[in-house]
Amino acid sequence: MTIRSMTGFGRASGPAGPHRTAEVAARSVNARFLDITIKTRESEAALEPVVRRAFARRLHRGKVEVALRLKRTTASEAEITVDEALLEALLARITDLSRRYPIEGRLSVRDLMTIPQAVVVEAPGESFTEEEIAAVEALAEAAAAALADMRAAEGAAIAADLLGRLDVLRQKTGVLAGRREEIARRLAETLRERVRALFPDVALDPARLEQEAALAADRSDVAEELQRLQGHLEQFEGILRSADGSVGKKLDFLTQEILRELNTLGSKSRDLASTREVLDMKSETEKIREQVQNVE
Helix (H) or strand (E) holding 12: strand 8-15
Q: Please state which CATH class domain 8-74+128-149 belongs to.
A: alpha beta
First to last CA, the chain: 13
CA distances from 74 to 15, 17, 41, 116 (A): 12, 11, 19, 29
CA distances from 291 to 177, 211, 286 (A): 27, 47, 9
Measured distance CA(30)–CA(64) in Å, rounded = 9
Q: Given this model, what pLDDT does residue 19 score?
A: 84
Does position 203 have pLDDT exceeding 70, yes or no?
Answer: no
Does position 63 have pLDDT exceeding 90, yes or no?
Answer: yes
Phi-psi region of 158 (alpha: psi -120 to 50; beta: other; left: phi over 0): alpha
Angle between helices 272-292 and 248-268 (to 10 degrees): 170
Q: Given this model, what pLDDT does residue 281 score?
A: 95
* Arithmetic mean of pLDDT, 100-126: 76
User: Rounded to 10 degrees, what is the CA torsion of 186, 187, 191, 192?
Assistant: -30
User: Rounded to 10 degrees, what is the CA torsion of 97, 89, 77, 111?
Assistant: 10
pTM for this one? 0.72
Q: Which of 134, 153, 162 is nearest to 239 (CA)?
A: 162
Does position 194 have pLDDT exceeding 70, yes or no?
Answer: no
